[in-house]
Amino acid sequence: MMEKKKASAPTDRGNIVAVIIFMLGLGTLLPWNFFITASQYFKQRLNQTTGTTVKEYKYDSWMTLLSQLPLLLFTLLNSFVYQWVRESVRVGSSLVAILLLFSLTATLVKVDMSPDTFFSVTMATIWFINMCSAVLQGSLFGMVGLLPARYSTLFMSGQGLAGIFAAVAMLLSILSNTDPKSAALGYFITPCVATLGTLVCYMLLPHLKFARFHLRRNANDDEEKGNVLLSIKDTTVTTPNGKHLDADRTFISEPEERSSVLVVLKKIWPMAACITCIFAITLSVFPVVTLRVETVYKNTKWDEVFTPVCCFVVFNVMDLVGRGTPYLAQWPPRHSRLFPCVVALRVVFIPLFMMCNIPTTKLRLIRHDAAFATIVAVFAFSNGYLASLCMAYAPQMVSHRDYETAGSLMTFFLVLGLALGASLSFLLEEFLLTKPGTNYGT
């Protein structure tokens, strides 16, 4: 009986799938980046004088908290229920909901509301938009895990571009000569268009041969196994000792199923621990501490754009470079003991940022703008590079059938790191920052 030849893998013609995966990565982090870089707009609307007092809403702190809690909760939920809800339903409904919520935020720019009402609506929007983002990220990371390893790097690079996208949009709104409301409206319309483009990209993916081959390979494997079992049914097998066994009882067994979540976690826990540590360190100081660093060149045009450029643009550009570097070189290797050591060494950035030019502290040992920008650049590059390595290494530690589970679990631990970092940022703020900063801080 001739063995059926296995179909060879098609190529990604014109790198169309690569571009789509990059765009999907961009779409997953747009909500977080656009709300975090819009800090100045929200504070201007919230911190209004009532009589002789100014009510402080602490937008940055609440935005961080109400972003990370739903991300953590719904990423965990997605890790367990993804097998019962189709991926297309999870991704499609999440993108549509994010689009509607961004549209609501853009509409509110032109609507006059009391600060209390505006704050409540904004916080509710942040909660629900990050809830959808959690489901979206978990689903897409699981899907990307079914593709070759380089596509995980491209997906992470797309996430890095989301930060640059938002930072440049904020910078243009600050430098524009339009009135504040028109500038803010243009700022929030931008993610609406980008989210719509992300939805279109996702809808195109199943129509590309390369994507279909990899994303449906599990189903094809099950079908092949069924055909083989049918072909040996009703035959007998002779064992080495001469006994005849019925093939029905010898070979026909339950098809190989995906491993449980706990089994997969036991295999990928080193990468899960590393991704948690990476983002816990990152979010502990960015943006709550970095936003409070001020330029030494006060009362100049540079003073207006210092925070957008040195805090957001530099961070997101270098984070993007870091996310793309594993496509060229991957060091340390997956099984090296040096890898977790390099991850842990990033804790040094916490005291470094606290020693920068923050007026509310006495630890200002690093004052020059160039020094701060350099620290931000290295900090961001290491974040993107090491996180991208973790996301690429994790699927390599499990069988093909468990790629999606590994991807979903890694997303959960990524978000767990963000939540831990957000909690630590409150402690750092209480310890060092005793009064409102003069720039973008609360």
Same domain? 71 vs 159: yes
In a domain, 6, yes or no: no
Contact 110, 45 (CB under 8 A): no
In a domain, 437, yes or no: no
Average pLDDT over residues 340-346: 96
Same domain? 222 vs 154: no
* Final residue in a domain of this structure, among 231, 250, 269: 250
CATH number of the domain enclosing 121? 1.20.1250.20
284/280 Cα distance (integer angstroms): 6
Distance from CA of residue 323 to its chain's centroid?
Answer: 11
Same domain? 134 vs 246: no
Same domain? 102 vs 238: no
Range(s) of the domain holding residue 230: 216-250
Q: What's the N-to-C CA distance of the chain in angstroms? A: 74
Same domain? 237 vs 291: no
Same domain? 326 vs 353: yes
In a domain, 438, yes or no: no
Average pLDDT over residues 325-329: 86
* Final residue in a domain of this structure, among 196, 230, 250: 250
β-bridge pairing 236-238 and 244-246:
antiparallel
- Write the single-letter amino acid at 369: D
Same domain? 44 vs 171: yes
pLDDT of 346 reads 97
Q: Is 193 exposed, middle or buried (0-12, 13-18, 19+ CB in 10 A)?
A: exposed
Closest CA to 33 of 168, 175, 150: 168
Same domain? 399 vs 416: yes
Rounded (10°) angle between helices 261-285 and 59-81: 170
Of 21 and 159, the one with more pLDDT: 21
Residue whose entry in the numeric block shows the structure tokens 């550009």: 317
Contact 209, 10 (CB under 8 A): yes
Same domain? 183 vs 287: yes
Number of domains making up the chain = 2
Per-residue b or e along 162-174, where b marks 16 or more CB atoms closer than 10 Å to that residue's CB: bbbbbbbbbbebb
- Measured in degrees and rounded to the nearest 5, phi and psi for residue 415 equal -70, -35
Helix, strand, coil abundance in the chain, percent, nearest 5: 75, 5, 25
In a domain, 440, yes or no: no
53: confidence class by pLDDT, cuts 50, 70, 90: low
Same domain? 84 vs 221: no
In a domain, 442, yes or no: no
pLDDT of 63 reads 83
Contact 322, 383 (CB under 8 A): yes
pLDDT of 238 reads 46
Same domain? 204 vs 311: yes
Question: Which SS3 state, helix, strand or coil, does residue 49 take?
Answer: strand
Same domain? 102 vs 227: no
pLDDT of 235 reads 45
Q: Which pLDDT tens digit goes with each residue over 107-116? A: 999 888 899 9
